[in-house]
Amino acid sequence: MERSTGIWTSANIVTCVRVALVPAWLLCAELMGSGDGTALHLPSLAVALLFMALSLTDKLDGYLARSRGEVTTFGKFLDPIADKLVVVVSLCFLLEVGDVSAWVLLVIVAREFLVSGLRMVVASRGTVVAASSLGKWKTATTMVSISGLRLCRALPVGGPCLALATLSRLLLLVAVVLTAWSGADYFAKSWGVISDET
């Protein structure tokens, strides 16, 4: 249930903090570097844990908004932007350090451009295209895989680190597939609107 509460609800404050912490996380990631693989690297562990906290707060602001009846237009606007910032900035960093391929970033960013453009077009025609659960799954899978890759930079070289890296890369591949799938799904649902010239 929605009610008028003003902009500065608890959920929106959490979302604003998430946005502000993204450049702070990137700065920490740049400055902390990674371990030499011989022992647990605590600065890298802190960076990984901070990313996990940023990822988990995605659920917190949504829960607060719904449970307190404080769903706002500002929150609907800012929350998905915060999600995209967390994912894209972290992937840019992983690309910089050689942990992911540029193709991963291309698919994810291209999908966001496509869906954002489609949303503007269908909204201008007075139509709302319901989002599928694919979008939530691709976001969750992406964040889990990034968390694993960040954690690998803190762990000593060995079996557990190799297993985590392999699992994280497999999850990232799944995330890329879900990203492309959810983009195609949204495009298919929007086709009736964007192809109607009447």
pLDDT digits (tens, 9 = 90+) for 117-169: 888 888 777 776 666 788 888 888 999 999 999 898 888 888 888 899 999 99
pLDDT, one tens digit per residue, over 100-109 is 999 999 999 9
- The radius of gyration computed from the CA coordinates of the chain, to the nearest angstrom, equals 19
* pLDDT averaged over every residue in the chain: 84
pLDDT band at 59 (very low <50, low <70, confident <90, very high): confident
- Asked whether the predicted pLDDT for residue 2 surpasses 50, the reply is no
H/E stretch holding 166 reads: helix 159-194
pLDDT band at 198 (very low <50, low <70, confident <90, very high): low
Per-residue pLDDT, 76: 77
Which pair of structure tokens corresponds to residue 113? 């451009």
Q: Among candidates 172, 193, 153, which has minimal Cα distance to 87?
A: 172
- For residue 8, the tally of other CB atoms under 10 A from its CB is 12
Per-residue pLDDT, 130: 65
d(CA 186, CA 183): 5
pLDDT, mean of residues 43-62:
86
Q: Among candidates 77, 95, 24, which has minimal Cα distance to 53?
A: 24
CA 37 to chain centre: 28
Owner of token pair 């989002």: 131
d(CA 119, CA 42): 42
- Asked whether the predicted pLDDT for residue 30 surpasses 80, the reply is yes
